Amino acid sequence: MRIVIAGGHGQIALRLEHLLTARGDEVAGIIRKPEQAGDLLASGTEPVVCDLESASLEDVVKHLEGADAAVFAAGAGPGSGAARKETVDHRSAVLFADAAERAGARRFLIISSMGASHEPPPDTDPVFAAYLRAKAAADDDIRARDGLDWTVLRPGRLTNDPGTGRVKLAEHTGRGEITRDDVAAVLAALLDEPRTAGRTLELINGDTPVAEAVAAVAAERG
Ligand SMILES: NC(=O)c1ccc[n+]([C@@H]2O[C@H](COP(=O)([O-])OP(=O)(O)OC[C@H]3O[C@@H](n4cnc5c(N)ncnc54)[C@H](OP(=O)(O)O)[C@@H]3O)[C@@H](O)[C@H]2O)c1
């Protein structure tokens, strides 16, 4: 399978690239800083330099041609303000989905966030509220598409603890933390399970091995 990952130098993306190349997938990662290319090459991932906040649809389509699947793992990041939540977490995700649809890369995963399912409470920090609204807007756009076999993944608070290989994956998990290692493992498993298309899933660390958790969600659709 050929998989293109947006935000290819992100902390989850780098982990996912290692998992996918190790199992024999062909992987490309979209980065905006050429100096990050070496970190992708280290896992056998093809670096593709493209800034999703300034790229045209045609540019991004070109990078997705021949791909079977696309993963949106980009984000404006912790140091950014509300404007970049909109241009990256919302607009770049929509651009990437438009391009995937145009290129025929039907399987589409997006890393959203727990909390994007509802309007943030009034006392929420304004930048965090903008972030959650941007994630929600991207998710709504993607979930309305028939031209993609999409899955929206909403992890709880991310940590860099070592992965446990055990998770809780469901429409509603309750709040919790999840390691980036385990998010990457779940994304890799979701790519292989088309019956998780059309689902919006929350993810926290839990007791169920990743493969079993993904199989259980897939089985709900029969
Ligand atoms: N932190 C949490 O607790 C939490 C919880 C749930 C979900 N999430 C979401 O999970 C996702 C992945 O998390 P993570 O920790 O792996 O993120 P990360 O390390 O911050 O990676 C995000 C990547 O997006 C890239 N990016 C930003 N703007 C871009 C642009 N214009 N074009 C192309 N790439 C661009 C960044 O590249 P540069 O190096 O060039 O900036 C970076 O490599 C994010 O969307 C995050 O919001 C986070």
The rounded Å distance from CA 73 to ligand 1 centre is 6
The CB of 110 under 6 Å from ligand 1? The reply is no
Tokens representing 67 are 């791909």
- pLDDT (0 to 100) of residue 58: 98
Rounded percentage of the chain residues whose pLDDT exceeds 90 = 99
* Band (72; pLDDT cuts 50, 70, 90): very high
Which one of 14, 19, 32, 205 would you pick to mutate in the ligand 1 pocket, going by the greatest count of ligand atoms within 8 A of its CB? 32
Burial of 222 (0-12, 13-18, 19+ CB in 10 A): exposed
Annotated active-site residue 131? The verdict is yes
Which structure tokens are listed for 205?
């660390």
Q: For 174, left (φ over 0), alpha (ψ -120 to 50), or beta?
A: left
Q: Which pLDDT value is given to residue 221?
A: 77
Q: Where are the domains of the chain?
A: 2-219
Instruction: Return the closest-CA partner of residue 186 out of 171, 167, 172, 200.
Output: 167
Q: What is the pLDDT of residue 215?
A: 97
Q: What is the pTM of this model?
A: 0.98
Determine if ligand 1 sits within 6 Å of the CB of residue 175: no
Q: Give which of 38, 217, 80 is closest to 17, Cα–Cα.
A: 38
Q: Using a 6 Å cutoff on CB, does residue 135 contact ligand 1?
A: no
Q: Residue 11: CB within 6 Å of ligand 1?
A: yes
* pLDDT bucket at 222, cuts 50 / 70 / 90: low
Question: How close is the Cα of 222 to the center of ligand 1, in Å?
Answer: 33
pLDDT tens profile 19-45 = 999 999 999 999 999 999 999 999 999
pLDDT at position 142 is 98
Summarised one tens digit per residue, pLDDT across range 163-175 is 999 999 999 999 9
Averaged over 148-157, what is the pLDDT? 98
111 pocket-lining for ligand 1 (C-beta < 6 Å): yes
Closest of 34, 33, 35, 26 to residue 5, by C-alpha = 26
**CATH number, domain 2-219:** 3.40.50.720
**96, 108, 131, 150: which one is catalytic?**
131
Residue 14's pLDDT is 98
